[in-house]
Amino acid sequence: MRFTPLSVGVAALAVLAPETAATAPDGLRGQLDLATAHCSPSTPGNGYQASLDSYYSLDVREIKPVCVFRPRTAQHVSRAIKVLSKSTAGNVAVRGGGHSIWPNNNVADGVTIDLSLLNQTEVHLPNKKNAGAIASVGAGSRWTSALLEVEKYGLSITAGRVGTVGVAGLTLGGGLSFHSGRHGFTCDDVTNYEVVLANGQIVDANSKQNPDLFKALKGGGGNFGIVTRFDFAAFPAGPLYGGMVTAAWDHRDTIVDSFIRLIDINEQNPTDSQIVLYMYDVASRSSTVSSTVINTDGITNSTSFKPMAAVPWLSDQRATQTYGELAAAMSDNGGDRHVWFSLCFQNNKRVVDKATELYNQLIDDTQGAMGDVDRIIFVFQQLPRHYAQKNAGGNVLGMDKSLTADSIVWLGEAFARTPEAESLFQRKIAALTDELEAFAEAIGAATQWRYINYVNPTQEPLKSYGAEVKYTAQNIAFMKRVSAKYDPQGFFQTRVPGGFKISHVK
């Protein structure tokens, strides 16, 4: 794949051709005045391989871009976009934390902009006029470093729950946090985005400046620009209480019943949250059921968890600790071929039981392939209605209207080691997902939202923001208008092919 220099100086683009890789870093540096551009897969120690190795998914690590460009400032991003958008060939990928499981964050035939050096967090404390503290987080940050910085000030943010996950991708897609009960989605707590637009302009998007872009970035993903900094509302918080507990499979019913009750009473107990996880461990050929149980106020005896009081835990990692300490302890650097599918459905035991039946079937059906798999997990997370009301109308997720019943976000995942096992589980879990969805629909327990950060690339999440429901259909039209206004040439629609594109939604 070769770049065709058009209106841009030949020098700028020649350096991007693989055959001139040896001179590429200096050439790009010279043209763009950039700190680091790593263009040669074969030059040792130039950061190229380190960048690839730090992706979560093995499939993504195997994609070899022509150059990995690692900007240190928003100005560097701006210069790069100006050069890259003027060429007509070769594509661009944008990478935040690199934790997306599919290749929407790396590109074989072009330049990957790796934001990982934009990893500073700065806390701005309130003055007399100002209502609250702000944490300004660089778009290449991971949650652990952002959390540990804000915690120095006795503050927290509506962070992701696993410390190695990127701030950028999670926040652009919505974001589910242990703080969601009080604060809604992670994106709801963003007060300002610093964004590089397709023409290279660096703008702020907040409730006063570019308010349409501000709203579209809350759930609309990478459709509108490259965010270089997120300013989050930061709030006072002490240590939380909780962690992961694991029980034998026999206790599944007790744990699931407790989880369903927790969702029912969550509006009254918004600082409690629970994640239920079925895990098939290939080494021992057996399943366990785990739960991450958290109270963000540090209360050790929350009523939400009372029904599980008698469960004999095989392991119990609950502790009084900060969110950042917990997130760091839950770090996960990946390394498998990750197959993910996701659905939402109402908080209904019958659907969970159906999912359990499908889980057992999946494991029975795939015994022959287990030698190439590390584990299979099903994850259930709470999605009570009140999460969507914290910033009603302020994001493009559409859930303030479409989430009409307390619900569950479900994820079915296989951690495969070989491409063959990956494609087997891709087929199997796709079919299982269809069956689960059909079941939920048949009993009137479907929930339309598809979480952009959890779905399989085949699942078309943006449609769920409104296509089928009249009162949220406007979110799709709105995002299309914002895209046309801030990116009239469609750079982020056509030249940055990774991710779900608003222009592709019918």
Ligand X SMILES: Cc1cc2nc3c(=O)[nH]c(=O)nc-3n(C[C@H](O)[C@H](O)[C@H](O)COP(=O)(O)OP(=O)(O)OC[C@H]3O[C@@H](n4cnc5c(N)ncnc54)[C@H](O)[C@@H]3O)c2cc1C
Instruction: Name which position in 103, 163, 169, 184 contacts ligand X (CB under 6 A).
Output: 169
**Binds ligand X by CB under 6 A, chosen from 5, 90, 98, 461:** 98
Partner in contact with 115, chosen from ligand NAG, ligand X, none, beta carbon below 5 to 8 Å by kind: ligand X
Q: Which residues bind ligand NAG (CB under 6 A)?
A: 117, 119, 145, 301, 303
Cβ pair 123, 150 in contact under 8 A: yes
Contact 160, 142 (CB under 8 A): no
110 touches ligand X by CB under 6 A: no
Residue 94 in contact with ligand X, rule: CB under 6 A: yes
Select from 382, 386, 399 the least CA-distant residue to 347.
382
Q: How far is the CB of 120 from ligand NAG (least distance, A)?
A: 6
Whole-angstrom CA distances from 369 to 357, 414, 422, 425 are 20, 11, 10, 9
- Residue 501 touches ligand X, criterion: CB under 6 A: no
Of 172-180, 232-240, 253-261, 404-412: span binding ligand X (CB under 6 A): 172-180
Q: Report the alpha-carbon angle 300-303-304, nearest 5.
A: 95
CB 306 to ligand NAG: min, Å = 7
Among residues 28, 155, 176, 311, which is the contact residue for ligand X, using CB under 6 A? 176
Contacts (Cβ under 8 Å, ≥6 apart) of 423: none
Bridge partner list, 295: 241, 272
Q: Are 114 and 166 in contact (CB under 8 A)?
A: no
> In this structure, what DSSP letter does residue 134 have?
E
Is residue 294 within 8 Å of residue 181, measured between CB atoms?
Answer: no
Among 33-41, 97-105, 353-361, 389-397, which window interacts with ligand X (CB under 6 A)? 97-105
- Which of 118/339 has CB closer to ligand NAG? 118
**Comparing C-alpha atoms, which of 303, 323, 331, 392 is closest to residue 178?**
323
Interatomic CA distance for residues 69 and 47, integer angstroms:
10
The residue among 169 and 219 lying less far from ligand X, judged by its C-beta, is 169
User: By CB under 6 A, what part of segment 143-162 binds ligand X?
Assistant: 160-162
337 binds, among ligand NAG, ligand X, none (CB under 5 to 8 A by kind): none
Least distance in angstroms from the C-beta of 162 to ligand X: 4
Residue ranges that bind ligand X, judged by CB under 6 A? 56, 94-100, 104-105, 115, 139, 160-162, 165-166, 168-170, 172-173, 175-176, 221-222, 226-227, 332, 453, 498-499
